[in-house]
Amino acid sequence: MGSVNMSYAAAIREGIKEEMRKDPSVIVLGEEVGVWGGVYTVTAGFLEEFGPERVLDTPISEIAIVGVAIGAAMAGLRPVAEIMYMDFLQIALDQLVTQASKARFMSGGKLKIPMVVRTQYSLGRVHGSQHSQFYPSWFFQAPGLKVVLPSTPADAKGLIKSSIRDDNPVLFIEAGVLYKESGPVPEGEYYTPLGVADVKRKGSDVTIVAVSRAVHDALRASEILSERHRVEAEVIDPRTLVPLDTETIVSSVKKTGRLVVVSDDVMSGSVASEIAMRVVEGAFYYLEAPIARVTSPDLPVPFAQPLEREYMVSSSKIVDAVLKILGS
């Protein structure tokens, strides 16, 4: 099977379109998803192709968007709801965490909630503290809710299709800075399974586990480590945090003996912290050095571009962390 070059946004668009063409129960709703095709153009052309009964422009109300999606899912539809910024998920936490994630459990399996909530985080786009937050670790505390974070166009398309097909609520977190980034996407129909990590680069000296946007920083860091320091890093992208493919990560650490975990959230209670603990439980006696975490500091996101850049994870910070645990 060949591939075509496609942007991250276009790959998500194609994935949703394919599912909508196959299944009339798939609908899209959110702010400006129809008339404008979404502020990030992911749903461009949907209104023209699928009509206003399946592409619903909503009021500016996250509570309404997620609440309607839950009701639609309970009634037999497969809604794909868009929340424009991840920051605004907080307004709909009751619907998402208290209702959607628990409905199947509370009904003894009688209710299914096949809904996807798409959102994006704008860290790196100079959008300030209230439009740049990244907090997927919050949803480790919501059993029943799946959490997906694609880093490439190919994964974005395959994962959105699998998320729509899933009978459980899925939080699909996109990285705003990646929307225009392009990469190869397989031709034809394919699905990327939830709960399966991807080894983006093989290596033998250290394991780097990176999430979402930070995968690209980790890959750049691995090239620097190889060219300048003769260190071969294995880079793993979990792709989904819930379910988390702990086995692939632990197997890699057993091989390399060292681990650096990279994520765009703040360090305290972070994705990196949870992954590090899973490795301590599964591969403690294989570790030859302390686990390192590379995250943002425990501060609000700065608005000034130089400060935001310093606040963020970078390839140089990852290189420094690797060299530190290698004793270089």
Catalytic residues: 131
Helix (H) or strand (E) holding 229: helix 214-229
Cβ neighbour number for residue 182 with a 10 Å cutoff: 16
Residue 242's alpha-carbon distances to 34, 129, 185, 197, 324, in angstroms, are 30, 26, 24, 11, 30
Separation of alpha carbons 62 and 116, rounded Å: 14
CA 108 distance to own-chain centroid: 29
Residue 151's alpha-carbon distances to 73, 189, 312, in angstroms, are 27, 19, 16
Residue 25's alpha-carbon distances to 40, 50, 79, 229, in angstroms, are 24, 12, 8, 53
